[in-house]
């Protein structure tokens, strides 16, 4: 299998290989799926007339329109095949079943469905060694593969703040609506700035500019902001937004890797960037922050997290998410962050604020807007395979946060007392 990543192409169908031959692996995958669905409240209806699962009224139902291709992909690589099969249109939710509702029962039971023996033997069926490393050059290529797709694409499903990370809603019952999203995103930014102690006169370093919202918000507090990105597309639009906000005299946007930054800062902030660093470079990342932090300064990061045992079990696995959405990515655990800080820095975590359910709702609203605005996205040149890829990505993540397999938290980090 090639390590060359092609999904950033707007014609995503060009990145999707045809299904392999059905063969023995396909037959085994079919038996495994039948067994799994005896323990998961999901019904699968095959175009051949076969039905797997209890078929209970109200259970999420998936329709397998091309069973041989579906099982062949699963047999070749379970962690990649399920998403590729959805991209190819070989299966779909039944009418009345939401895609995230369909995926959530699997995410909720993943630990019990996937036995420890599978993890020990997973490289017999799962490719490894394909996830690009986050060297200075590699990180730039990995970021380009996702964040440089098109600013207009992201604008089609994000709120006007262009915040591409979990929002922080004032309440989750009743479920938030699109009308609530922008205010919740700004509340998230304010919470990060508060944790880092950003006030008038603060020298702020932001690692991961996004489209400039946090930098603008910090500058409006009177801070002087240096914000780093390695995405040319994001940097260009962020600069435009900074100028339109009238804070260009207080914000410097730098196309620079965090490893190359110099200077001293009262606050260092980074929102959902650590996921792109890679385990090998966590010591480098936190050491760089430590060197840049002025005496008495504080750090605030927002991070998507896994429980430690799940991170350890999956750290070497190359998944659909790596291949098609976030090459080079790895989600840390709180324990891994704490151990890295203890071994390589003078800092420690002194507060963790979990907000996983807020991310589930954020992703739900993004997917709702993405599908509602698909006509505009298609006009940019993205094809239907890309639509299914992006829909699967958003629903897959929503399901993970909804059932607690994934979490996201704001972490306040400060120097250890001497």
What are the catalytic residues? 397
Buried b (16+ CB within 10 A) or exposed e, 35-71: ebbeebebbbbbeeeeebbeeeeebbbbbbbbbbbbb
Instruction: Match 């300064």 to its residue by tokens.
Output: 297
Q: What share of the chain is helix, strand, coil (3-state, %, to 5)?
A: 50, 15, 35
CA 119 – CA 68 distance, rounded (Å): 26
Structure tokens at 101: 């509702």
8 A C-beta contact, residue 71 and residue 26: yes
Per-residue tokens: 142: 């990995």
Secondary structure class of 305 (helix, strand, coil): strand
Q: What angle do CA 72, 403, 179 make, to 5 degrees?
A: 105
Burial class (CB in 10 A: 0-12, 13-18, 19+), 128: exposed
Helix (H) or strand (E) holding 64: strand 61-64
Question: Residue 246: left if φ>0, alpha if ψ -120 to 50, beta else—which one?
Answer: left
- Residues comprising the chain, all counted: 418
Q: Is the CB of residue 224 less than 8 Å from the CB of residue 204?
A: yes
Q: In which order are the strands placed within the sheet that holds 51-52?
A: 51-52, 43-46, 61-64, 91-93
Strand segments (E) across 193-341? 203-207, 224-229, 251-255, 265-271, 293-305
Could you give the C-alpha distances from 216 to 69, 153, 164, 181, 221, in angstroms and in order? 49, 22, 15, 18, 9
Tell me how far apart the alpha carbons of residues 113 and 41 are, in angstroms, rounded to a whole number: 13
DSSP helix/strand/coil, 279: helix
């Amino acid at each position: 299998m090639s390590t060359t990543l092609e999904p950033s192409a707007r014609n995503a169908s060009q990145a999707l290989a045809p299904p392999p031959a059905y063969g023995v692996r396909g037959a085994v995958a079919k038996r495994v799926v039948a067994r799994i669905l005896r323990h998961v409240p999901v019904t699968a209806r095959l175009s051949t007339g076969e039905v797997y699962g209890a078929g209970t009224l109200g259970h999420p139902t998936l329709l397998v329109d091309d069973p041989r291709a579906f099982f062949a992909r699963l047999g070749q690589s379970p962690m990649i095949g399920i998403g590729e099969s959805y991209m190819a249109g070989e299966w779909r939710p039944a009418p009345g079943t939401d895609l995230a509702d369909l995926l959530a029962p699997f995410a909720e039971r993943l630990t019990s469905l996937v036995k420890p023996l599978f993890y020990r033997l997973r490289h017999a069926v799962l490719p490894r060694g394909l996830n690009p490393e986050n060297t200075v050059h590699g990180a730039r290529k990995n970021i380009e593969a996702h964040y440089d797709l098109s600013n207009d694409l992201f604008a089609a499903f994000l709120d006007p703040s262009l915040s591409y990370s979990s929002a922080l809603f004032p309440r989750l019952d009743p479920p938030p609506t699109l009308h609530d999203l922008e205010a919740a995103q700004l509340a998230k930014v304010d919470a990060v700035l508060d944790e880092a102690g950003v006030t008038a006169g603060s020298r702020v370093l932001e690692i991961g500019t996004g489209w400039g919202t946090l930098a603008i918000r910090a500058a409006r507090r009177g801070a002087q902001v240096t914000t780093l990105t390695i995405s040319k597309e994001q940097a260009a639009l962020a600069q435009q937004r900074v100028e339109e906000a009238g804070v260009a005299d207080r914000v410097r946007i730098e196309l620079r890797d965090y490893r190359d930054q110099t200077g001293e800062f009262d606050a260092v902030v980074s929102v959902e960037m650590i996921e792109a660093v890679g385990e090998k470079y966590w010591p480098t990342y936190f050491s760089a922050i430590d060197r840049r932090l002025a005496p008495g300064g504080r750090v605030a990061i927002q991070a998507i997290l896994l429980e430690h045992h799940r991170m350890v079990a999956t750290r070497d696995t190359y998944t659909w998410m790596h291949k098609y959405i976030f090459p080079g990515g790895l989600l840390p655990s709180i324990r891994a962050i704490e151990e890295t800080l203890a071994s390589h820095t003078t800092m420690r975590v002194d507060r963790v604020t979990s907000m996983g359910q807020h991310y589930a709702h954020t992703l739900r609203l993004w997917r709702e807007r993405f599908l509602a605005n698909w006509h505009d996205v298609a006009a940019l040149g993205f094809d239907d395979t890309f639509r299914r890829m992006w829909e699967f990505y958003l629903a897959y993540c929503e399901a993970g946060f909804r059932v607690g397999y994934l979490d996201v938290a704001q972490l306040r980090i400060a120097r250890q007392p001497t």
